[in-house]
Amino acid sequence: MKDNVVKALLHKVISGIHGIDEDETQSYIKYFQALARYKYDNYQQYSAGLRFIETLAIWLEQFDSYDKKIALDFVRDRIVYISSSEINLIAESCFVDKLQYILMKITANNLNVPKYKLKFIEDSKEYAILKRQSLFCGLSDGARLDIFRRANTGILSHEQIYLTYELSEQRILKMQDQLVEDLNGDSFQMNLDKNSEDSKFKTLFLIDDFSASGTSYLKSSETTGELKGKIAGLYRDLFGESDSSKIESAFDTQNLKIYIILYICSTQAKDTIESNFDKLFELYKHRPELIIMHELDGQYTIDKNDEIFNVCLNDDYYDKDLIEDKHTQANIQLGFSNCALPLILEHNTPNNSVPLLWTYEYSDIFKGLFPRIPRHRVL
C-alpha cells in the first residue's frame, strides 16, 4: 500500500479506540512509522505487499473495543524485536567478547599464572595451541557460523569451525588430521603423532542463537527420566559405551571441556538446561558449562500483573485447533512451555512467544502481528 493510504488506515483504527485523542493518535502513528522503517518492515515472514503498519491496523481490528487499547500499548511498550543485523553482530563479537577469555582462563590455569596477565597469556605458545585444539560447532543454522567464521579469519582456522554438532566419523577424523598437520607445521613444530593426547581436540564450543524453553537442548523425560535433546545425544557419542560412533577418538575425553554458547537465552531456558547438568555428570562423569551472551530475565516475561495477560488467555484470539498439535502437547496461549515472551526474531517468531503475536496467517479465527512459519506442519 502507499504510505498515505497506510497512514490513513492506521489513523482510522487508533482514533476509534476509546480514550485516545488526536494528539495521542498522531504520537502512536509517528512511533510505529519510525519502528517500521527501522526494524519491523524487515520481518521476513510478511506476505508480498504487506508490511508492519497495515498489518498492525488489521491486527488491531480483531480485538474488541476494550482490548484494542491494551493490545496497542503492548506492542508499543513490551515488544522485543531482534533484527538479523543485531544477531549477526553477536555472532561476530562472540569469540572476542567471550570465548577467547574462556581459553585464556584455561591457559592461565595450565601455566599457573594470574588470570589478569592477559597480554602474557595471549602471547604464549600454550594459548595458541589450545586455541587451535578447540572446535566450534553449531547447534542449528541459527548459530550463523558463516558469519562467526568470517569475523575470525586469521584468528581461527576454518578447519575448526563446523556448521553442525552432528559430526560424522569421516568428517571429524579429517578435522583431526588437519589439526595434527597444523600443530606439526612451522608455527608450532610439535612433532606429534595422531595417537598422542595433544593431537586431539581439548575444547568444544556448541553455539546457537536462541533458546526460550531449553527443552530442545537438554531435558529429562517425565516418564522414564532419560535425558533427551541435542546435548544428551552428543554426550552419548562422546562418553557413552556404544561402538556405533568413533568420533570420541578425535577428542581428549579425559580433559575435554564443553561449553554451550547461546547468543540469547531466557532465564527459564537457562534453568531448564542447567538443572540437568547433574544428571549428565551422573551418567558420564562430565559437566558442561552454559555461557549466555544476552539473558532475557523475568522483566521480559508477561505475567498476571500485565493487562495483556488476560487478553492472551481469551479464547476469541486463540486458534486452538490450528495451533495445538502433538508437538505443542498442550495449550500454549502463553507460548510453548508457558514462556510468555513478547519476543520477535526477524527471520521468524518463536512459538515460545504469545500466539497473539505469531498466529499463522492462514488462521480463520485470528491472525498474528508477526505471522510465524511453523517448523512442523501436516502437508
CA-to-CA distance for 134 and 183, rounded, in angstroms? 12
pTM value is 0.92
Residue 180 pLDDT exceeds 80 = yes
- Terminal Cα-to-Cα distance of the chain (whole angstroms): 32
Question: How high is the pLDDT of residue 245?
Answer: 58
Return the SS3 of 285: coil
- Return the number of other C-beta atoms located less than 10 Å from residue 370's C-beta: 25
Quickly list DSSP for 224-264: T--EESHHHHHHHHHHSS-SS--GGGGB-TTT-EEEEEEEE
- Return the number of other C-beta atoms located less than 10 Å from residue 31's C-beta: 12
Please write the tens of the pLDDT for every residue from 15-24.
999 889 999 9
Picking from 372, 353, 366, the residue whose alpha carbon sits closest to that of residue 74 is 353
Residue 306 pLDDT exceeds 90 = yes
Residue 42 pLDDT exceeds 90 = yes
Please write the tens of the pLDDT for every residue from 321-368.
999 887 777 899 999 999 999 999 999 999 999 999 999 999 999 999
Dihedral angle sign, alpha carbons of residues 320, 229, 79, 311: positive
The residue ranges of every structural domain in the chain are 3-78+303-358, 84-298
Adjacent-strand bridge partners of 81: 344
CA-to-CA distance for 348 and 357, rounded, in angstroms? 11
Instruction: Tell me the three cell numbers of residue 275.
Output: 538443572
Q: What is the DSSP letter of 80?
A: E
Question: Residues near 111 by Cβ (< 8 Å), separated by ≥ 6?
Answer: 121, 124, 126
Please write the tens of the pLDDT for every residue from 184-233.
999 999 998 888 889 999 999 999 999 999 989 998 877 787 898 999 99
CA-to-CA distance for 162 and 167, rounded, in angstroms? 9
HEC string of 263-277? Answer: EEEEHHHHHHHHCCH
Identify the burial level of 240 via C-beta atoms within 10 angstroms of its C-beta, where 0-12 means exposed, 13-18 middle and 19 or more buried.
middle
